[in-house]
Amino acid sequence: MHSSVVLGPPPSLTSLIADQPVALFLDFDGTLVELAPGPDAINPRAGLAQYLSALADRLEGRCALVSGRGITDIEKHLGPLTVAAAGSHGSDMRRRDGTALGPGALDVPALIDREMRDFAAQNQIDYEKKPHGAALHYRSRPGAGKAARSFAEELATQHGWAAQHGKAVVEIVAKSANKGAAVTAFMAESPFAGSHPVFIGDDLTDEAGFGACYELGGAGILVGSPRSTSARYLLPDVQSVHEWLEL
């Protein structure tokens, strides 16, 4: 379900919770923290990990981060997480208690890593090696975006992996890795099962999360400017997300 109609703000979290058990799935960059020129340049709100833990308590554990970043990378910026999380677009999932969910993730093949690294150096863009993927960031050189996208798509196809596109980034990840699959995996078990799922995200890779929530009777909340989307609601910016979450 893709919509180009004008999206309105979501009902308040308090009112949603009053009606039924709610599960929240939260993107990280561009949703909980402002986008930055590079992945290490973000400036998260002080105490964000603790606020998220309190939110998970309020939802009886039904809250998960679902990010393109690796979980360990998020913890590098926030400190230890005490919420469920899916990193690397769902390649690496763990429950709130830290136990692994799913079969575990594949590391990106060395050949993909080397070719992506070489391409980044030759084109003067940023390369990010992730625990379970590889990314080319071209925010600093938007003109290199088209070549980066084409290169990553061809390389991924050659090796049986998948290319995912985001805001000024293209990543190579395992074909099974997407945010919708992560939502589905969490929703299949306690404490998420049977609840009303809501996914909040800003990027194209979040569309799979919106779609999974829609299929399970829930909804998506798009962050940022309106566009064609599977989300049902819109919040304008990161600050409004924090306010809606009552953090």
Active site residues: 27
Residue pair 228/4 in contact (Cβ under 8 Å)? The answer is yes
Instruction: Count how many residues are written for the chain.
Output: 247
Check residue 5 and give its pLDDT.
Answer: 59
CATH fold, domain 13-104+177-245, is: Rossmann fold (3.40.50)
Residue 18 backbone phi and psi in degrees, to 5: -65, -30
Task: Report the candidate in 236, 206, 208 with the shortest Cα–Cα distance to residue 223.
Answer: 236
Check residue 212 and give its pLDDT.
Answer: 97
Indicate the CATH number of 110-173 among 3.30.70, 3.40.50, 1.20.1070, 2.60.40.
Answer: 3.30.70
How is the chain split into domains, by residue range? 13-104+177-245, 110-173
pLDDT per 10-residue tile (average), the chain, 247 residues: 73 96 98 91 96 98 95 95 93 93 81 96 93 89 96 95 91 89 96 98 95 97 95 97 97
Tokens encoding 94: 């763990």
Residue pair 150/181 in contact (Cβ under 8 Å)? The answer is no
Torsion angle, alpha carbons of 205, 208, 213, 215, to 10: 170
Check residue 122 and give its pLDDT.
Answer: 96
